[in-house]
């Protein structure tokens, strides 16, 4: 990646970095499981945007689009299963979504 590319696409690169930092912060700081999932979603969005920018710069748009579509499908499956697990945690912990209450894996 040249300096010229960086200068030309700086708003997009800043968006990627911002999304990454916000997602990481969201995951690190909170104890709420739904908010952790939102943080993971933001990290995936940063990766998606970076792939799209890479495709535009290298002129491999079809390849990157198919990669992004694959990523979106995997993302949906992951979020659906994770949401099922969150609902299970909620029912098991008597109305709590706190990750600190999920340390007991008995049974």
Q: Which residues bind another protein (CB under 8 A)?
A: 1, 12, 15, 17, 19, 21-22, 25-26, 28-32, 34-35, 37-38, 41-42, 45, 48-49, 52-56, 58-66, 68-70, 72-81, 83-88, 90-91, 95, 97
Q: What is the rounded distance in angstroms from the CA atom of residue 99 to the CA atom of residue 107?
A: 18
DSSP label of 38: H
Nearest to 48 by CA among 26, 87, 24, 19: 19
Tokens at 106, concatenated: 């008995």
Give min distance, CB of 105 to another protein, in A.
14
Q: What is the rounded distance in angstroms from the CA atom of residue 56 to the CA atom of residue 46?
A: 16
Give min distance, CB of 26 to another protein, in A.
5
Give min distance, CB of 103 to another protein, in A.
18
């Amino acid at each position: 990646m040249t300096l010229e590319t960086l200068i030309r696409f700086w708003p997009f690169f800043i968006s990627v970095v911002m999304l990454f930092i916000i997602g990481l912060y969201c995951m690190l700081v909170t104890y709420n499981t739904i908010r952790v999932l939102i943080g993971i979603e933001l990290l995936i969005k940063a990766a998606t945007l970076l792939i799209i920018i890479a495709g535009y710069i290298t002129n491999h748009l079809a390849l990157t689009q198919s990669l992004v579509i694959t990523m979106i499908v995997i993302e949906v499956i992951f979020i659906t299963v994770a949401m099922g697990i969150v609902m299970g945690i909620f029912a098991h912990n008597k109305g709590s979504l706190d990750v600190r209450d999920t340390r007991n894996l008995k049974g």
